[in-house]
Amino acid sequence: MGKNLEGINYYNKLIDELKANHIEPFVTLFHWDLPNALEEEYMGFLSSKIVDDFVNYAEICFWEFGDRVKNWVTLNEPYRFTYAGYVQGTFAPGRGGENQDGDPETEPYIVAYNLLNCHAAAYRKYQEDFKDVQKGKVGITLDTNFFKPFRGRHCKEDVKAVEYAYDFMFGLFMEPLTSGDWPKNVHKFATTPSHHHPQGRYLPVFTDHQKKMLKQSYDFLGINYYTANFAKFKDDSSSSHSTGFLSDCHYEASGKDPYGNNIGGVAFDGSWVYLCAHELVDLLHHIKQAYKVEKYIVITENGAPDKNDDGKTYEEARNDEFRLKYIKWHLEAIRRVNTVRLLTSEGTKPLVMGYFVWSFTDSFEWSSGYTVRFGMNYVDYKNNLQRYPKKSALWFKKFLSEDKLWEPRKRSLISVDEVDEVANGAPVNATQAIEVVQKQKKAKA
């Protein structure tokens, strides 16, 4: 079991700094950054060999950091990793897209199968070897949109498309965590004949042991929610063979209805993010009921982008009214959701126990690069990465600083329109490099 001491020391310093500033670390183990050596050795998540390596990696993290980290996420957005990496080919490892290696007819399901087994094995490892001492919690983060029928609820085909959308985007991972098996629609469509598999395709089968490992293998459920879409039924009956995942799912997602109306206010012209905060209420109720969720939910990502424009002045760049409204409305939605209470072994709890904005600062946004900005803090990429708080950052700081109350109106949400423009209004220089000092803590062979 190899360990990178420099990496461990880096994260030790980061975690210690967070704790010193009364910030509770919430650590994700896998956000799509598989070591290339494993991709080259056995093709990464296309091989079941990945499970043992993932558990070994998780065990090192639990051992080295678990005395201070009490909240773990095993996988972030396994659907997005699977879809973009093995269907579209736009994210690493770049399989499945046009003129690329890969087999979108079978590989997405193999990858989903191995991801799920990685998660379950890591979760059980923590439960068996670490939980009694460290007292932490381990969850998984799934991403999904809210879906509405494209032509309305009177259109039976589009109502069915909504069902397919949830099954292939969310249920592909949530159903195995609930029942230990794939959604029925995945069984139905992912085994049909395809162009390269005319006799039918093999869908990985969970063994009885794997099913037992998977069921309820989370202490909390992370949900990444950004927007809603219309789901339109996609009829592939003209072809006797599936072209793969894209045709298996039998729906097309759109941000516009048949008349060209947006499903919600759009972040900017051409953006995929629409302001659909009320739909979060409906989505969480759907998840709780459809999958009989009895553990609390954390909104692990929620945010809105700006289109990058280097010509904007600082005053213009910090005036992120859409993001400010977006955050406020989603927090208000969560407050409405939390009229639903969970009866747990620890007593009565709200359904949603946490909320994270994506993101703290502008950053490199995957295939979008630096063309969009999701940050509450503006990063000047041309001026030594100086950072400036936008209005949303100042408001959010004030919101988080208010007293925690358990009355129906916990904090000032919609009513807080003025923010302190003096506090933290000056640019913040990029962090200076600091020396990495090896820690002789809990060295494990």
Note the pLDDT tens digit of each residue in 275-285: 999 999 999 99
Domain 5-401 fold is TIM Barrel (3.20.20)
Residue with tokens 């880096």: 10
Q: What is the pLDDT of residue 2?
A: 75
Listed by start position, the domains of the chain span 5-401
Distance CA 406, CA 68 (A): 27
Which residues are registered as beta bridge partners of 72? 27, 138
Q: Are strands 228-233 and 146-149 parallel, antiparallel or unpaired?
A: parallel
Q: Are 354 and 298 in contact (CB under 8 A)?
A: yes
- For residue 383, give every residue at least 6 positions away whose Cβ sits within 8 Å of its Cβ, in sequence order, or none: none
Res. 421: pLDDT tops 50 = no
H or E element, residue 392: helix 391-401
Please, which pLDDT band fits residue 164 given cuts at 50, 70 and 90?
Answer: very high
Note the pLDDT tens digit of each residue in 37-94: 999 999 999 999 999 999 999 999 999 999 999 999 999 999 999 999 999 999 999 9
Res. 431: pLDDT tops 60 = no
Please, which pLDDT band fits residue 433 given cuts at 50, 70 and 90?
Answer: very low
Q: Are strands 372-373 and 306-307 parallel, antiparallel or unpaired?
A: antiparallel
Residues shown for the chain: 445
Q: Are strands 251-254 and 297-301 parallel, antiparallel or unpaired?
A: unpaired
C-alpha R_g of the chain: 22
Res. 426: pLDDT tops 60 = no
Please, which pLDDT band fits residue 424 given cuts at 50, 70 and 90?
Answer: very low
Residue with tokens 């996988």: 75
| Average of per-residue pLDDT across 99-126 | 96
Residue with tokens 């809603």: 228
Q: What is the pLDDT of residue 435?
A: 36
Q: Are 203 and 187 in contact (CB under 8 A)?
A: yes
pLDDT exceeding 90 applies to what percent of the chain?
81
| Average of per-residue pLDDT across 382-388 | 92
Distance CA 294, CA 74 (A): 19
Which residues are registered as beta bridge partners of 372? 307
Res. 25: pLDDT tops 80 = yes
Average pLDDT along the chain: 90
Choose from 1-5, 14-18, 413-417 the range with maximum mean pLDDT: 14-18
More confidently predicted of 105 and 415? 105
Distance CA 216, CA 5 (A): 34
Secondary structure of residue 387 in the 3-state scheme: strand
pLDDT exceeding 70 applies to what percent of the chain?
89
Instruction: Give the residue numbers annotated as catalytic, written as ranges.
Output: 77, 301
Res. 428: pLDDT tops 60 = no
Which residues are registered as beta bridge partners of 25? none
Note the pLDDT tens digit of each residue in 196-252: 999 999 999 999 999 999 999 999 999 999 999 999 999 876 677 888 999 999 999
Q: What is the pLDDT of residue 403?
A: 65
Please, which pLDDT band fits residue 404 given cuts at 50, 70 and 90?
Answer: low
Q: Are 227 and 274 in contact (CB under 8 A)?
A: yes
Residue with tokens 């006797």: 240
Res. 22: pLDDT tops 70 = yes
Res. 427: pLDDT tops 80 = no
Q: What is the pLDDT of residue 341?
A: 75
Distance CA 98, CA 104 (A): 10
